[in-house]
Amino acid sequence: MENGFNNLKIHPDYDENNDNRKDFSYFKKVATSSYDQWHSQSVQNATALNTITVVTSTIRFIPLALPKRTRLDRIGCQITAGGSAASVGRLGIYDSVNMVPNNLIIDAGTVSTAAAAVLSIEIDITLEAGFYFLALTTSSVANVTFRAVVLGGIPNFLGSLSTLGTSVASQLFITFTYGVFPQNVLNSSFNKLSAITPLISLRYKKEN
């Protein structure tokens, strides 16, 4: 195969007549592995990540603002301290109405929360530009610790708490007995929480 852009091999999917054959994502590598483009939920500032222990019997709803049509092929999280043996965490995405979670778009399934690990689930979904919520719940009897975004890295989408003061809301939650995600949660009793937020990561598909 002849050499091309930057003296690297020409992308096998393109020929000389294809204007966009110099696809940088084909050439970009980390060591010998293909470059992955993972993004977290609407992180505003480049602050260092932390951890948070998530209580059971809740669903957490974490804001996600997308400025353009986006195709996603994985959703994941990092467990830094596991919970009960054989426990799982469930990940999903909801659309919104007036900045409140509404209809379930995808219940992506589960990852193990029994031990520390970086875990993800394969999905294939395209979201239009708009405001969404990432959803997280766990079956663990013991609390699970997740990699998390600190308050300084979270945009103020949800406004202040009802007590006002200096705190702003970073996420919403409802009480929930573990199972598949409800199809609609619009009429739930939402609580605003001002706290470090579990980090749910999304991988953007390169065709996007």
Whether 51 and 86 share a structural domain: yes
Same domain, residue pair 12 and 105: no
DSSP 3-state of 168:
strand
pLDDT > 90? residue 153: no
Closest CA to 133 of 185, 68, 87: 185
Helices (H), strands (E): how many in the chain?
1, 15
12 lies in the same domain as 103: no
Both 17 and 76 in one domain: the answer is no
Task: Answer yes or no: do 12 and 60 share one domain.
Answer: no
179, 110 Cβ separation under 8 angstroms: no
- For residue 198, give both structure tokens: 């579990």
The token pair at 98 is 């007036």
Q: Are residues 30 and 46 in the same domain?
A: no
Q: List, for residues 24-36, the tens digit of each pLDDT value.
A: 444 444 445 555 6
Q: Are residues 46 and 22 in the same domain?
A: no
Examine the domain organization and report whether 79 and 142 are in the same domain.
Answer: yes
Measured in degrees and rounded to the nearest 5, phi and psi for residue 74 equal -155, 150
Of 47-56, 86-95, 192-201, the least confident: 47-56
Give the model confidence (pLDDT) of 78-102 as tens digits: 999 999 999 999 999 999 999 899 9
Q: Are residues 93 and 10 in the same domain?
A: no
71 and 15 in a common domain: no
Quote the domain boundaries for residue 13: 5-34
Q: For the chain, how many structural domains are there in total?
A: 2
62: CATH: 2.60.120
Shared-domain flag, residues 109 and 12: no
- Please give the model's pTM, rounded to 2 decimal places: 0.79
Q: Cα dist. 3→8, 11, 26, 34, 35 in Å?
A: 5, 10, 14, 19, 21
Is residue 117 located within the same domain as residue 146? yes
DSSP letter string over 88-139? EEEEEEEEEETTEEEEEEEEEEEEE-SS-EEEEEEEEEEE-SEEEEEEEEE-
> Strand, helix or coil at 81?
strand
